[in-house]
Structure 1
């Protein structure tokens, strides 16, 4: 979808987390695309080998269940977070559409997958492993990783030349939304967190929240 959106465009659209991953891969000094592709291939093959050894089957119905569950979470999380932010600041931040519908849908799905991979799997997962080593309580490790991860997730939206101007209400919204996604990731896994994020962005794009 990104390739189609960028076809013939003089100003290509990119997903922020995708750019960060490529910049990180560039530090290796090798071809970026091959580094990323090789990493995905190694991890993917490793997961497949592990699942085969554990006799974990692929059940297509589970994918539909994940989408349905995430669709509900997207509405509940957005409603709760919006209510809390509105109660504190007397107004909830309203996202602005900067692109056409097709591009916005591509960015919505991409943000859900890429940002959840970066912020939930790598950041929060890594923080949890670190704090589990530091603290005797696994609950303390979970809570600490979730809070720090949510703060970083919110702050990164204001970093760099293309970042948004900092505003306390939008920061709070993103922090609480990130915290909810962290809880979903730690309790329900990457798939549910990624699709909750993506479907929430799609709801906004389609104007389903009014």
Structure 2
């Protein structure tokens, strides 16, 4: 019993480490980037991916593979500052997969509960997000992986962490700074889905708009909680898992 408890504690700690997050998301990141290259102009680029690349281009760094390299370097640098071991047990990665699947199912259940409250009659069926055409399915799946990695990179790893740092420098209490950062970045996360040429319509009088906005805000808070408590890898994996799940169910 003591050994089992020790293994559980080890998993909880090791799965939070930035190195474990990097190893865990590496296949998602590689599949997304390779998928975008293979699909070409028809690929669905994630909005966070596009915005981050635009920022890099503005400061003179427009090389294609620079953004994934930045993601890798951030996690490596973060892990270096923790002074933790440079190793990841395969059992930890397997556990992270299972945890992300369960969390994705939990978030999908939250969507089901909210659907019952809002009754969004104008909503398209979730299964319509994946067409029967294999090429369209590939496009969607690649986009889901990009959303999981790059939206968590932008909204949680970069923005949430930055807001917490600013608030802490202003002497706000640790708990209050994290909550305020999660609240503000989750609002931005929800609004971001209505910004850009391919975004959804921003119709304040639409029942469907408020349904999707409220859910995305709650999802942002959910991913923020995962990021703070469980680490970047779990947040990104659960995000990608949810997007894939809602696309087929």
TM over 0.5: yes
**Inter-CA distance 107–47: structure 2 relative to 1 (3 Å threshold):** same
Matched, 1:24 2:55: yes
In structure 1, the residue matched to 2:106 is: 76
Matched, 1:181 2:219: no
Matched, 1:145 2:184: no
Paired residue secondary structure (1:148): helix
Matched, 1:90 2:119: yes
Q: Verify the 8 A CA contact 1:82 1:173 in the aligned structure 2.
A: no
**Inter-CA distance 55–41: structure 2 relative to 1 (3 Å threshold):** closer
Deviations along 1:129-167, one digit per CA (max 9) or x if unpaired, are: 112222442110111011101100000000122110131
Equivalent positions of 1:24-173 (< 5 A) are: 24-33=55-64, 35-36=66-67, 39-40=70-71, 42-43=73-74, 45-47=76-78, 49-50=80-81, 53-84=83-114, 86-87=116-117, 89-91=118-120, 93-94=123-124, 95=126, 96-97=128-129, 100-166=136-202, 167-173=209-215
Paired residue secondary structure (2:59): coil
**CA shift at 1:56, angstroms?**
4.4
**Inter-CA distance 56–128: structure 2 relative to 1 (3 Å threshold):** same
**Inter-CA distance 131–81: structure 2 relative to 1 (3 Å threshold):** farther
Paired residue secondary structure (1:32): coil
Q: Verify the 8 A CA contact 1:101 1:205 in the aligned structure 2.
A: no
**CA shift at 1:126, angstroms?**
1.1
**Inter-CA distance 10–23: structure 2 relative to 1 (3 Å threshold):** closer
**CA shift at 1:85, angstroms?**
5.2
**Inter-CA distance 40–170: structure 2 relative to 1 (3 Å threshold):** closer
Unaligned residue ranges in structure 1 (runs of 5+):
none
- Aligned residues: CA RMSD: 2.6
| C-alpha distance in 2 between matches for 1:21 and 1:8 | 20
In structure 2, the residue matched to 1:195 is: 237
Count matched residues: 205
| C-alpha distance in 1 between matches for 2:225 and 2:94 | 21
Unaligned residue ranges in structure 2 (runs of 5+):
1-30, 203-208
In structure 1, the residue matched to 2:26 is: none
| C-alpha distance in 1 between matches for 2:191 and 2:39 | 33
**Inter-CA distance 9–24: structure 2 relative to 1 (3 Å threshold):** closer
